[in-house]
């Protein structure tokens, strides 16, 4: 394994994360990589579906074995070893795609949202239906109050809040179709704007409902919000400004009105052409595709923490030379402006090994000091 002074690395890394990774006292680039539950299979050489359902006890056993190995290689236990009991889990509420008539399917590899309409007339009918819908009664299951009370009495837990959703473009393209949405924006911009508005309405309404269910009011609710919108890359800047931007602006204005409130966008796609528009949202953090580099982002977002830009496939191939090359590239772009939290530009997939994380740490300690 490549040499790393582990004790020094983690001490320096703690300082590097201060002030949202912009601290003047940061001795090196911050490390954002903490691996993922998917990675246990390749690392431990065991069979299993990285995206499938795993019994609780088996998951704990795998994560503990993985963490034993991680402690030796990178000096930290990385994965969770505590998971809720079955009776500690809240019954699932209906998700935003279901509000728009979609159907979620877990195919064992991913959860796919099937659409519900494909013509402007069908979309108009859908939007009228959604605007009349009693969203609280629709999303909350019939046993909600009883289960919520039991969980609180036994575990002291309150329902989870809604602080992260699919981005508006990805959601709309799942519900209506990718090409259909593009044509809609060109051919019927007023209907497209209406679609965008209703998406924003629903996100805010579900968020308010879950705040209330957890006992929060508009005055004391936790702040911050994030979006995952890979499909935004398919829109031109003008199209995105008409359709996607207004949703993020409304939601951030509601849950993230102050300077340091979390405003986050993930889009692991080639969406660099949208950065000038996204910059107006004053994002506190971003995670974009591997072709959207620090220099591209920093020109427009001087105060945004950049979680990237190591390509996930470079990391998964466990190519030491290429990993070091990309870390050095990102450091050269960030050394005069900071704010880099070195992470993969997208998901960390099964096949990514702990030795690759150690390679990143070696590269940071050797080539990535401020």
- What is the C-alpha to C-alpha distance for residues 367 and 325, in angstroms, rounded to an integer? 10
Residue pair 243/182 in contact by the 8 Å Cβ criterion: no
Of 28, 16, 31, 14, the C-alpha closest to 356 is 31
* All domains in the chain, ordered by first residue: 94-139+161-288 (3.20.20.210)
pLDDT tens track of the chain, all 370 residues? 899 999 999 999 999 999 999 999 999 999 999 999 999 999 999 998 888 889 999 999 999 999 999 999 999 999 999 999 999 999 999 999 999 999 999 887 778 999 999 999 999 999 999 999 999 999 999 999 999 999 999 999 999 999 999 999 999 999 999 999 999 999 999 999 999 999 999 999 999 999 999 999 989 999 999 999 999 999 999 999 999 999 999 999 999 999 999 999 999 899 999 999 999 999 999 999 999 999 999 999 999 999 999 999 999 999 999 999 999 999 999 999 999 999 999 899 999 999 999 999 999 999 999 9
Burial class from Cβ neighbours inside 10 Å (0-12, 13-18, 19+) for residue 196 reads buried
- What is the C-alpha to C-alpha distance for residues 281 and 168, in angstroms, rounded to an integer? 15
Written in H, E and C, the secondary structure of 224-266 is CEEEECHHHHHCCHHHHHHHCHHHHHHHHHHHCCCCCCCEEEE
DSSP structural state of residue 165: E
Report CA torsion sign: 281, 286, 290, 294: positive
Strands (E), the chain: 30-31, 103-106, 111-114, 164-166, 225-228, 263-267, 285-288, 305-310, 340-344
Query: Global pTM?
Result: 0.95
pLDDT for the residue numbered 108? 76
């Amino acid at each position: 394994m490549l040499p790393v002074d582990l004790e020094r690395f983690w001490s320096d890394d703690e300082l590097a994360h201060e002030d949202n990774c912009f601290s003047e006292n940061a001795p090196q680039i911050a490390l954002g990589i903490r691996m993922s539950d998917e990675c246990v299979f390749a690392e431990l050489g065991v069979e299993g579906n990285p995206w499938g359902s795993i019994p609780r006890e088996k998951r704990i056993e795998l994560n503990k074995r993985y963490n034993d190995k991680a402690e030796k290689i990178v000096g930290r236990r990385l994965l969770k070893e505590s998971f809720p009991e079955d009776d500690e889990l809240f019954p699932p509420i209906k998700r935003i795609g279901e509000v728009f008539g979609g159907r979620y399917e877990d195919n064992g590899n991913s959860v796919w949202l099937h659409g519900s309409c494909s013509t402007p007339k069908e979309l108009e009918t859908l939007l009228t239906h959604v605007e009349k819908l009693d969203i609280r009664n629709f999303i909350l299951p019939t046993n909600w109050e009883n289960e919520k009370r039991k969980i609180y009495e036994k575990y002291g837990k309150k329902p989870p809040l809604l602080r992260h959703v699919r981005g508006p473009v990805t959601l709309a393209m799942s519900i209506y179709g990718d090409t259909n949405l593009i044509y809609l924006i060109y051919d019927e911009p007023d209907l497209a704007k209406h679609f965008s508005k209703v998406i924003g309405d629903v996100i805010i309404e579900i968020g308010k409902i879950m705040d209330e269910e957890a006992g929060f009011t508009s005055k004391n609710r936790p702040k911050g919000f994030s979006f995952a919108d890979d499909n935004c890359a398919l829109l031109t800047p003008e199209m995105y400004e008409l359709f996607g931007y207004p949703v993020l602006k409304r939601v951030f204005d509601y849950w993230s009105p102050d300077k340091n409130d979390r405003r986050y966008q993930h889009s692991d796609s080639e969406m660099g052409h949208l950065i000038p528009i996204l910059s107006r949202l004053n994002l506190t953090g971003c995670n974009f595709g591997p072709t959207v580099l620090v220099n591209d982002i920093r020109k427009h977002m001087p105060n945004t923490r950049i979680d990237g830009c190591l390509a996930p496939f470079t990391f998964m191939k466990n190519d030491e030379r290429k990993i070091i090359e990309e870390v050095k590239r990102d450091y050269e772009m960030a050394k005069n402006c900071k704010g880099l939290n070195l992470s993969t530009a997208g998901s960390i997939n099964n096949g990514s090994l702990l030795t690759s994380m150690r390679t990143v740490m070696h590269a940071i300690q050797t080539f990535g000091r401020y």
